[in-house]
Amino acid sequence: MGAERDGAGGERGFRRDLGLLDSTMIVAGSMIGSGIFIVSADMARLLGSGGWLLAAWAVTGLLTVAAALSYGELASMMPQAGGQYVFLREAYSPLWGFLYGWTLFLVIQTGTIAAVGVAFARFLGVLVPAIDPAAWIVAPIHLSERYAVSLSTQQLVGILSIALLTAINTRGIHLGKLLQNTVTSAKTLALVAVIVLGLLVGRNAEAIAANFAGFWDTAGAETTVNSRFAFLPPLSAGDGLLGLLVAFCVAQVGSLFSSDAWNNITFAAGEVKDPRRTVPRALAAGTALVIGLYLLANVAYLLVLPLSGIQHAPDDRVGTAMLGVIFGPAGATIMAVAIAISTFGCNNGLILAGARVYYVMARDGLFFRGVGRLNAQRVPAAGLVAQGIWASLLILPRTRLGAGPGGAERYGNLYGNLLDYVVFAVLIFYVLTIAAIFVLRRTRPEAERPYRAWGYPVVPLLYIAAALVIMAVLVAYRSETTWPGLVIVLSGVPAYWIWTRFGTPTRGPAGAGAEAEDQA
């Protein structure tokens, strides 16, 4: 067990209640949301062929599993609450840990929670028509030419789902894990059922012939990638090797985002039984399971839908389009149920894990002091509530998109823009964290490492190299989303200065006492 007392008062420490199955369910459940049913449409428009679509998902899978295997070493060295925040803090400095935690709270975790909450409401709206994005409780209030705030029934349901899951998780890790195990099992089975239907029931001979005859032919690419740098030409996947590389790297944004959040189990390592061994195994098992399912899902799409059917699926809902071929109009309802379950379970994992990072930051004196306390159920309730409030607030601001076909103004979601902005920053933190393996092997060679990164140094170096290539392409061809992400990260520098001057650690200087508090 973790320490029974903290460094400042009488609260009891975390309860280690997560076994290997529970931890694997957090990994898988946090990864599987709605992305797998949607992002393949945009990826297909970029890449123009079934072969390259599958290749993009395969590369995402290799990167994700490689990163998970590398993180396993860090998790076995530092099996305590906070995960990636702690890894960066210990390998580099408290500033780098804070910049990650700051961005996590500001956008990465809370923005994802907001997006998944609204996705849950959107697909629940297929079953309950009153849940509608234009059914206003508070009609859009225009703040400027670009932004507004509103509250629709869809937004309200998204907020209520976040509030419900937050309340459940304040009742203790045992209740949170039971919900996670139940919902993750259900949505994994639902995804398996979708795959089986595509592979065995909905096989379309014409689609198969069209998709596999020109398996690597990029002639179907529809999206041209433009750069804001005048010296860089517009490129598409059909413009030779360079065009294919650029389109492939840009396509990775969708698949990597859909495969993200696998690292959340490291945030909750303070509640894992035998974390030095359990967390690395859960990372490997959970990512391998999900990536395998994602690849099979895309194979199923290609067996049922022609590439144009994937590219032009209504609202990019490829999974719904596939089931529509098999079941007709009932397919939309079936898929709505599956995605509602999937997104609900995804948000439970995100909500459960994220608050553990803010808890550790607060105990280091780098976040609001009250967040660094556990409640009677020995979970960071204040962190959960703060996270839930901020995620809910992110649902309210809207982006103004101009008039639609009927003349009515269209609205986007600000959190969607923010998540686009931080994809680049997330890759930076992943690269820094995996590079930390090399740093810590040099600076702490004597540290206990029950698990060592598989394929070291080749596999971690390959991940870093591949991520740097993707980042370079995003800087060149997606500069409009990369620099705002860096601004969000760098906004943490003055915040760090404020907290280091006025914050009060609850266990001494940053990192001090971490082992006593959290380690098994």
Q: Rounded CA gap, 425 and 350, in Å? A: 19
In a domain, 12, yes or no: no
User: Does the structure show a pLDDT above 60 at 517?
Assistant: no
142 DSSP β-pair partners: 148
The answer to pTM > 0.95 is no
What domain range is 493 assigned to? 20-518
Report, as an integer, the average pLDDT of 360-366.
Answer: 95
Tokens for 428, please give them: 């930076």
pLDDT single digits (tens) 284-330: 999 999 999 999 999 999 999 999 999 999 888 899 999 999 999 99
User: Does the structure show a pLDDT above 60 at 513?
Assistant: no
Q: Rounded CA gap, 150 and 131, in Å? A: 14
pLDDT single digits (tens) 383-431: 999 999 999 999 999 999 888 777 788 898 888 778 788 888 889 999 9
In a domain, 15, yes or no: no
Q: Rounded CA gap, 290 and 280, in Å? A: 16
Number of domains the chain is built from: 1
The confidence score (pLDDT) of residue 507 equals 63
In a domain, 11, yes or no: no
pLDDT single digits (tens) 177-193: 999 999 999 999 999 99
CB 24 within 8 A of CB 110: no
User: Does the structure show a pLDDT above 50 at 358?
Assistant: yes
The confidence score (pLDDT) of residue 13 equals 85
User: Does the structure show a pLDDT above 80 at 280?
Assistant: yes
In a domain, 165, yes or no: yes
Q: Rounded CA gap, 359 and 263, in Å? A: 17
User: Does the structure show a pLDDT above 50 at 518?
Assistant: no
| pLDDT confidence band for 515 (50 / 70 / 90) | very low
User: Does the structure show a pLDDT above 50 at 519?
Assistant: no
In degrees, to the nearest 5, what angle opens at C-alpha 20 toward C-alphas 14 and 25?
Answer: 90
| pLDDT confidence band for 8 (50 / 70 / 90) | very low
| pLDDT confidence band for 12 (50 / 70 / 90) | low
| pLDDT confidence band for 247 (50 / 70 / 90) | very high
In a domain, 134, yes or no: yes
User: Does the structure show a pLDDT above 70 at 229?
Assistant: yes
Which residues lie closer than 8 Å to 74 by C-beta, 6 or more apart?
A: 87, 266, 433, 436, 437, 440
The confidence score (pLDDT) of residue 514 equals 42
Segment among 6-20, 233-247, 420-434, 448-462 with least mean pLDDT: 6-20
In a domain, 9, yes or no: no
Share of the chain above pLDDT 70, in %: 95
pLDDT single digits (tens) 61-113: 999 999 999 999 999 999 999 999 999 999 999 999 999 999 999 999 999 99
CB 276 within 8 A of CB 520: yes
3-state secondary structure at position 248: helix
User: Does the structure show a pLDDT above 90 at 4?
Assistant: no
The confidence score (pLDDT) of residue 482 equals 87
CB 64 within 8 A of CB 254: no
Here the CATH number for the domain that contains residue 480 is 1.20.1740.10
Q: Which amino acid would we find at residue 151?
A: L
Q: What is the mean pLDDT of the chain?
A: 90
